[in-house]
Amino acid sequence: RENAKIVRLTPNQLSAEPSGRCLRAVRFFTGDMRRCGQWVKRQVLIIQLLDGVLRGTAQVMFVSNPVSGLLISTGLFLQNPWWALNSLLGAFVSTVSALLLRLNRSDAIFAGLHGYNGTLVGMLMAAFSSKGNWYWWLLFPNVFMSMLCPVVSSALSSIMSKWDLPVFTLPFNILTCLHIAATGTAHPYFPEVKIQPKAHLYHNDSLANLSIPQLFLSVPVGVGQVFGCDSPWTACLVLLALLLCSPAICLHALLGSAAGLCTGLALAAPLEDVYSGLWGYNSALSCIAIGGVFYGLTWQTHILSLICALFCAYVTSATSKLMSVLALPVCTWPFCLSTLIFLLLSSENPAICRPPLSAVSCPEENQHYLRQLRTSEKALSSCKGERTLERMEG
């Protein structure tokens, strides 16, 4: 009996053990860090803004974790400090703009949902500028376009909410293409890099000249290209940030990038584009979105996410050729188009279940939410059945 008392430890005793402390520390930094978010709400506005900016940086990859945002920001600085500075400025300006417009519905601002489009706008405006690094005048259009991100996002969400759909990166696509189309390559103050038409760029001998090491390296690089980065070190930090928050998101990011790579090879894409990850980033985002973020993660939705990633790669090929005729980048238009099509899927399969947009979190949290929802529905149906039997007996 004395030994049994020693073995049976209470939860407080477990937390006092070294292994329990380590487990609590790991849980604190993984997932969406809700405890940290609750602590931040009680702090001054500067701390809240810092947390919102880091979460906004991570929300590009459907992750609401400030530590993940810090890792991704570190990777962006490894790629190019000027690009990283513009991305953080874009996230900060768009977050402050949303605060001033009072768009904090369901704590969306401090969850980073009004910062991720500004992150991409700032990053890609610096990447597409032909003036190179440290051209300080670029900060003015960056601030202006980032300030418009919450406006465009709120306007689009008013339309998309009718179908309970997210706006994704549509504000980033609209504002970035608007800026590039308005300035062009010959602008005296804000010239853009020239985008070559891709109508006839095919490599029939691509498989013969294939480099297997570069091919494997292009899978993680394709995930890093979501931020416009082709550095393997940046890609590794982005994947580490995803793994810290959700292993399922990290896995689907790699699978989506690999699916886009294979489709690029099948379509005889230039090997330079394949190796640099340009065929992987849209498919990676689509695979993440369908594979557990906006659908409950089952083996059916897992297969559906891979199909969506392959479809997204085809859309990438078609869209890049159409956009290059207009001298515009493809951005993340293929991801938005293909993912929205798959989210509008009407299926009676109970395994393909989409949680409400207000309840969307990481795949692990979505699984827990849907499991609780099914349990409550079963309990409610059993109660109704018992009441019906009582009435019949009465």
Summarize pLDDT for 192-221 with one digit per residue, the tens.
998 877 654 555 555 677 888 999 999 999
Torsion of CA 376, 378, 381, 386, to 10 degrees: -110
Q: What is the pLDDT of residue 389?
A: 56
- Quickly state the pLDDT bin for 7 (edges 50, 70, 90): very low
Q: What is the pLDDT of residue 252?
A: 96
Q: Please, what are the domains in the chain?
A: 31-196 (1.10.3430.10), 246-381 (1.10.3430.10)
The answer on pLDDT for 255 being more than 60 is yes
The span from the first CA to the last CA of the chain, in angstroms, equals 52
In 3-state terms, what secondary structure has residue 260? helix
Average pLDDT, the chain: 87
- Quickly state the pLDDT bin for 3 (edges 50, 70, 90): very low
CA 393 to chain centre: 55
Q: What is the pLDDT of residue 347?
A: 84
Query: Distance between CA 98 and CA 115 in Å, rounded?
Result: 9
**Residue 106 or residue 275, greater confidence:** 275
Query: Distance between CA 91 and CA 57 in Å, rounded?
Result: 7
Query: Distance between CA 283 and CA 277 in Å, rounded?
Result: 11
Contact 66, 54 (CB under 8 A): yes
Render pLDDT for 71-93 as a digit per residue (tens, 0 to 9).
999 999 999 999 999 999 999 99
Q: What is the pLDDT of residue 34?
A: 82
Contact 237, 71 (CB under 8 A): yes
* 111 token code pair: 């969850």
How many angstroms separate the Cα of 275 from the Cα of each of 45, 96, 218, 260, 284?
43, 37, 5, 12, 15
- Residues near 286 by Cβ (< 8 Å), separated by ≥ 6? 256, 305, 308, 309, 311, 312, 334, 335, 338, 339, 342
